[in-house]
């Protein structure tokens, strides 16, 4: 991308847009005049060290990046849809550096060289691709700084669903089909466009899965945004299940990232033999009934397996989990009329009317879906985060039956919902 003439001003303006923060609000937050902020943006005048530190904390960025040190590292894809900073952390040992470098190579092939996922899979094993890309993203070697939004589709979705509080649609770089990269786009936008506007709520509910993990890891640490907030798990996995990204784990990660907040624990029924654990369960469930905001993901059918092919055993997969949810897969396989299947939410199988068909017997203490409906109908926010067309049907089901009132999705899902061609 061409060098920025005023890197500080241009990057500051971009961050304000991403976070939905006006110049007036930023000035009030920092205790300065709006003219000072205008001077930063228009003329590139730099704040003193104290203000720069406060500015970076408010916007979740580094001082070096904001003032343009090392700006040559910021890149964008061939279509100009996404921008990112790329750097392998210098302390990474060689044994960990190799998969990160492979991930960088694959990422460039998919977003810059416009290679198809099928072409990439013909050269590398599926698990290698997934592991390498995850290494690059989760190590911070690829850190998104901007994702273009499809504002035309956002406007049309608001017209169709007037009750929506948040509508964020990520553009797709070129013909990128990789699920992990698409997930990065929507989770980045969910963390920077929706979560940043949630201020000091008493209780926030979290689902589980890889999409939710990346949402948590994209969240911008803040000194007081979530002061007093309790992170509430919405479902519980069995204690021996160490392979899934559980809601309890994600609640704990959020409490670590955001000082002043705390994580509640939701025991699995198998853990509730003692009065102490029963008390813990009762407290968390009480908070579930007083949630103000909920974040979750969904899943559906026709997700392709690692080879890009669809077959009976992979026709349904629960969203983003390392384990393949055999109870739900078997329940789906037994459905006499699969045209009634509306998707998976919080390990419930839903029909197209938003009613529960079955649930995962390996998971316990799921939040009652009536709580989601109440939040959507009243003053709360239920935000679903999803990428790829196979998740379009569950998003449509949840919107049609008021199980959600906010979405962060990609263009592919948005177009499918607007056409209602998701079967």
CA count, 13 A, side-chain hemisphere, 371:
18
pLDDT band at 17, cuts 50/70/90?
confident
* Domain-embedded: residue 105: yes
CA–CA gap between residue 374 and residue 396 (Å, rounded) = 18
| Cα–chain center distance at 341 | 24
The residue ranking higher by pLDDT, 302 or 162, is 162
3-state secondary structure of 204: strand
Q: Please give the structure tokens belonging to residue 91.
A: 């302390």
Check whether residue 315 and residue 344 sit in a common domain.
yes
Give the residue numbers spanning the domain of 310: 148-423
Banded pLDDT at 160 (limits 50, 70, 90): very high
Residue 64 lies in a domain: yes
The Cα–Cα gap between 241 and 64 comes to 41
Q: How confident is the prediction for the chain on average, in pLDDT?
A: 86
* Same-domain status, 266 and 128: no
Under 8 Å between Cβ of 187 and 409:
no
Q: Please give the pLDDT value at position 276.
A: 93
Kindly state whether residues 64 and 88 are assigned to the same domain.
no
**Across 223-239, average pLDDT:** 90
283 in the same domain as 194:
yes
Tell me whether residue 55 is exposed, middle or buried, using C-beta atoms within 10 angstroms of its C-beta: 0 to 12, 13 to 18, 19 or more.
buried
Residue 324's pLDDT is 56
> Alpha-carbon torsion 407, 408, 410, 411, what sign?
positive
Distance CA 417, CA 154 (A): 12
Q: Whole-angstrom Cα distance, residue 95 to residue 93?
A: 6
Q: 341 pairs with which residues across the strands?
A: 351
**Domain boundary at 24, 40, 69, which?**
69
Shared domain for 293 and 381, answered yes or no, is yes
Is 28 within the bounds of a domain? yes
The set of residues, in sequence order, having a beta carbon less than 8 Å from that of 123 and lying 6+ positions away, is none
Number of folded domains in the chain? 3
One domain, residues 310 and 402: yes
- Axis-axis angle for helices 392-400, 411-419 (nearest 10): 50
5 — pLDDT class (breaks 50, 70, 90): low
Same domain, 24 and 115: no
Residue 302: the pLDDT is 64
Structural domain ending residue among the three candidates 44, 69, 94? 69
Co-location of 62 and 180 in the same domain? no
Domain end point (choices 147, 174, 200): 147
Q: Are residues 4 and 66 in contact, defined by beta-carbon separation less than 8 angstroms?
A: no
Q: 192 and 128 in one domain?
A: no
- Which pLDDT score, from 0 to 100, does residue 296 have? 97
Indicate whether 2 belongs to any domain.
Answer: no
Question: Same structural domain for residues 291 and 397?
Answer: yes
Assigned token pair, 203: 């209780």
Banded model confidence at residue 144, pLDDT cuts 50, 70, 90: very high
Q: Max CA-CA distance within the chain?
A: 67
Query: What phi and psi, each to the nearest 5 degrees, are found at residue 382?
Result: -120, 110
Among 341, 342, 329, 320, which residue's Cα sits nearest to residue 387?
320
- Residue 22 in any domain: the answer is yes
Nearest to 203 by CA among 317, 268, 92, 286: 286
Same domain, 131 and 192: no
Domain CATH for 208: 3.40.50.1360
pLDDT-based confidence at residue 73 (cuts at 50, 70, 90): low
Average of per-residue pLDDT across 217-241 = 88
Integer angstrom CA distances of residue 306 from 21, 131, 240, 245, 375: 41, 12, 26, 20, 37
Domain identity same for 306 and 201:
yes
Task: Count Cβ atoms within 10 A of the Cβ of residue 50 and give its class: 0-12 exposed, 13-18 middle, 19 or more buried.
Answer: exposed
Helix and strand totals (H; E) in the chain? 17, 16
Q: What pLDDT, on a 0 to 100 scale, did the predictor assign at position 310?
A: 45
Q: pLDDT per residue over 359-412, tens digit each?
A: 888 888 889 999 999 988 887 999 999 999 989 999 999 999 999 999 999 999
Q: Where are the alpha helices (DSSP H) in 142-274?
A: 151-160, 179-189, 210-218, 247-257
pLDDT in tens, 309-366: 444 444 565 555 545 567 787 888 888 888 889 999 999 999 999 999 988 888 888 8
The pLDDT of residue 1 is: 47
Where residue 53 sits, what CATH number does that domain have?
Answer: 1.10.260.40
For residue 314, being part of any structural domain is answered with: yes
Using one digit for the tens of pLDDT, what is the confidence trace for 291-305?
999 999 998 876 544
pLDDT score at 187: 97
Q: What is the mean pLDDT of residues 123-136?
A: 91
Residue 179 lies in a domain: yes
Cβ atoms within 10 Å, residue 191: 22
Tell me which of 179-188, 215-224, 326-335, 384-393 is least confident. 326-335
Determine, yes or no, domain membership for 173. yes
């Amino acid at each position: 991308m061409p060098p920025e003439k005023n890197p500080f001003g241009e990057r500051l303006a971009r961050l304000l847009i991403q976070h939905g923060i006006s110049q007036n609000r930023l000035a009030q937050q920092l205790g300065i005049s709006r003219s000072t902020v205008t001077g930063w943006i228009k003329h590139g005048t730099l704040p003193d060290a104290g203000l720069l530190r406060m500015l970076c904390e408010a916007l979740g960025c580094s001082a070096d990046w904001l003032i343009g040190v090392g700006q040559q590292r910021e890149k964008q894809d061939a279509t100009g849809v996404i921008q990112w900073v790329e750097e392998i952390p210098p302390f990474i040992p060689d044994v960990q550096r190799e998969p990160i470098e492979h991930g960088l190579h694959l990422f460039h092939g998919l977003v810059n060289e416009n290679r198809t996922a099928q072409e990439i899979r013909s050269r590398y094993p599926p698990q290698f691709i997934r592991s390498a890309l995850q290494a690059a993203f989760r190590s911070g070697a690829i850190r998104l700084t901007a994702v273009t939004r499809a504002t035309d589709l956002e406007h049309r979705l608001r017209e169709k669903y007037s009750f929506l509080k948040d509508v964020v649609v990520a553009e797709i770089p070129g013909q990128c089909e990789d699920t992990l990269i698409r997930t990065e786009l929507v989770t980045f936008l969910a963390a920077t466009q929706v979560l940043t506007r949630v201020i000091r709520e008493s209780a926030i509910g979290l689902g589980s899965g890889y999409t939710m993990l990346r949402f948590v890891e994209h969240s911008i640490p803040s000194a007081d945004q979530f002061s007093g907030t309790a992170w509430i798990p919405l479902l519980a996995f069995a204690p021996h299940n160490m392979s899934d990204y559980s809601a309890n784990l994600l609640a704990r990660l959020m409490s670590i990232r955001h000082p002043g907040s705390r994580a509640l624990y939701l025991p699995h029924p198998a853990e509730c033999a003692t009065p102490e654990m029963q008390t813990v369960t009762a407290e968390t469930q009480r908070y579930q009934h007083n949630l103000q905001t909920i974040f979750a993901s969904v899943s559906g059918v026709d997700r392709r397996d690692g080879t890009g092919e669809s077959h009976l055993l992979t026709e349904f997969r629960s969203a983003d989990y390392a384990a393949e949810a055999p109870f739900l897969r078997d329940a789906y396989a037994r459905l006499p009329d699969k045209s009634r299947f509306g998707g998976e939410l919080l390990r419930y199988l839903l029909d197209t009317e938003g009613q529960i068909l079955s649930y995962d017997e390996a998971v316990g203490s799921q939040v009652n879906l009536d709580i989601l409906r109440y939040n959507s109908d009243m003053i709360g926010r239920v935000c679903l985060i999803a990428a790829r067309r196979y998740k379009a049907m569950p998003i449509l089901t949840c919107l049609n039956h008021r199980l959600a009132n906010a979405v962060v999705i990609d263009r592919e899902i948005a177009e499918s919902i607007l056409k209602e061609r998701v079967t």
